[in-house]
Amino acid sequence: MKAKLINFLKISLPVAIGLYLTWYFVSNSTESEKEYFLKSLSEANYGWIFVALIIAFLSHLSRSYRWKYLLETMDVQPKLSLMYHSVMIGYIINLTIPRSGELARAGYFSRYQKTSSDKVFGTIVVERVVDLIMFALVFLTAFILQSDQDAFQELRQMGSSESNSFFLPIFLVLAVLSIFLLFIFEKLRLKVWNFLKGIYQGCLTIFKLKNKAAYILHTFFIWVCYIAMLWITALALPDLENINVNAVFACFIAGTIAIGATPGGIGLYPIMVATVLTDLYGFEGQIAKSFGMLMWSSQTFFMILLGIVSLVAIKKQS
Angle, CA of 233, 236 and 241, to the nearest 5° = 100
3-state secondary structure of 114: coil
Chain mean position to CA 17: 17
Tens of pLDDT, residues 226-282: 999 999 999 988 888 788 888 899 899 988 888 877 777 777 888 888 888 888 888
CB-CB neighbours of 265 under 10 Å: 28
**Residue 53: its pLDDT value, please?**
95
**Residue 210: its pLDDT value, please?**
80
Question: What pTM does this model have?
Answer: 0.76
Arithmetic mean of pLDDT, 172-194:
61
Selection from 203, 10, 54, 12 nearest residue 125 by Cα: 203
**pLDDT band for position 116 (50/70/90)?**
confident
**pLDDT band for position 132 (50/70/90)?**
confident
Given a cut of 90, is residue 199 above it in pLDDT?
no
3-state secondary structure of 128: helix
**Residue 194: its pLDDT value, please?**
58
List, as one string, the DSSP characters of 27-57.
HTS-HHHHHHHHHHHHHS-HHHHHHHHHHHH
Tens of pLDDT, residues 43-60: 778 899 999 999 999 999
**Residue 13: its pLDDT value, please?**
46
**pLDDT band for position 140 (50/70/90)?**
confident
Given a cut of 80, is residue 96 above it in pLDDT?
no
- Residue 222 to residue 225: CA distance in whole angstroms: 5
The percent of residues in the chain predicted with pLDDT above 90, rounded, is 18
**Residue 182: its pLDDT value, please?**
59
HEC string of 164-228? HHHHHHHHHHHHHHHHHHHHHCHHHHHHHHHHHHHHHHHHHHHHHCCCHHHHHHHHHHHHHHHHH
Average pLDDT, the chain: 76
Arithmetic mean of pLDDT, 61-68:
94
Of 73 and 166, the structure prediction assigns the larger pLDDT to 73
